A and B are shown apart, each in its own frame.
Chain A
């Protein structure tokens, strides 16, 4: 079977292509709480959200919470899920804890919310990279049959943000390596309510940016731009999304 990203118009680092191929294949496979077909429905909704009129009006408003209406949608997901996917795609910088509370009250488990976030973000991230290098994002993969385990991580506790996470001091042996080398940054912890999904996300992010941003400059890493250029792009992209984390 040919690789999905062999058709890229430019040469990419092999580890990025490998991570993309893996992420793409996993997008349609059973996750921690969602089956493959549902994950693909979330991914399709994330793509659809870029053309949503309500999202555009909310984005342009002083506050998105003053703009009512219905999202343009694929029709494959419950309303609460659609709002999570669309807001995360189009206006993530103004999400609030109250918004999350309404999403959960509207019909999703906290664990499902995390997987919806992860699948949405993976889709956006892969598409952003491909559009950047000049490759049209491919059609979504076929779903892989199978049921997700849907087992709550016993060691997860509320915080440090709005959702439960696994703290480094509570981690089970089969997930301890994720926090190796004192890489306890809260951002790495954010999705750990779903350990397997967390690994899927970071397998891609580690190749796109840096596995350990604490390295001195690039410290021997093979990049065609400088560390300062990387950090400028990182800061600028964050600011454009309204994120000041």
Chain B
């Protein structure tokens, strides 16, 4: 939702569907490809892939950007786990605000596996 809001703030349009798929393109995010590979390598704990992905981000955006990207990816190794371990729901206002987006991306079908 916040990516969409950022796009509204700046006048940019992003392919939000690319975020939830197995393989994303660069979208219209600058250095989206290298950033995506960096996120995939860290979240997948792929030690062989992390070094190359890190260097690709450095080559594209610089070392400071790589460090800040790593921080966001690390942070979002926490928020999802906290939410999913405690069953925290979306607030009503966010449910309403994201209803169309969630339907478009098919996210509601992905909530919690059956046992």
Contact = CB atoms under 8 A, between A and B. Distances in A.
B3 A228 contact: yes
Given A92-B81, A238-B79, A241-B43, A161 B19 contact: no
Given A50-B45, A186-B90, A245-B90, A96 B113 contact: yes
Interface size for chain A: under 10, 10 to 19, 20 to 34, or 35 or more residues? Answer: 35 or more
Interface in A194-218: 201, 204-205, 207-209, 213, 216-217
Interface string B39-56: 110111101001100100
Interface in B67-89: 67-89
B5 to A, nearest CB: 8
A100 B84 CA distance: 11
Contact of B71 (A16, A92, A94): A16
Interface string A127-159: 011011110000000000000000000000000
B27 A92 contact: no
Interface stretch (A26-34, A68-76, A172-180, A229-237): A229-237
B91 A133 contact: no
Given A160-B89, A216-B9, A225-B65, A205 B78 contact: yes
Contacts of A169: none
Given A134-B51, A235-B2, 9 more contacts: A121-B77, A125-B75, A131-B47, A187-B79, A216-B9, A230-B72, A232-B36, A233-B69, A244-B102
Interface of B: 2-3, 6-7, 9-10, 12, 14, 16, 19-21, 24, 27, 29-32, 35-36, 38-40, 42-45, 47, 50-51, 54, 61-91, 102, 107-108, 110-115
13 contacts: A10-B67, A16-B71, A96-B115, A124-B81, A128-B42, A132-B50, A133-B70, A187-B88, A201-B78, A209-B79, A227-B6, A232-B14, A245-B83
Interface of A: 10-13, 16, 50, 63-65, 84, 88, 92-100, 114, 117, 120-122, 124-126, 128-129, 131-134, 160-163, 185-187, 189-191, 201, 204-205, 207-209, 213, 216-217, 223-245
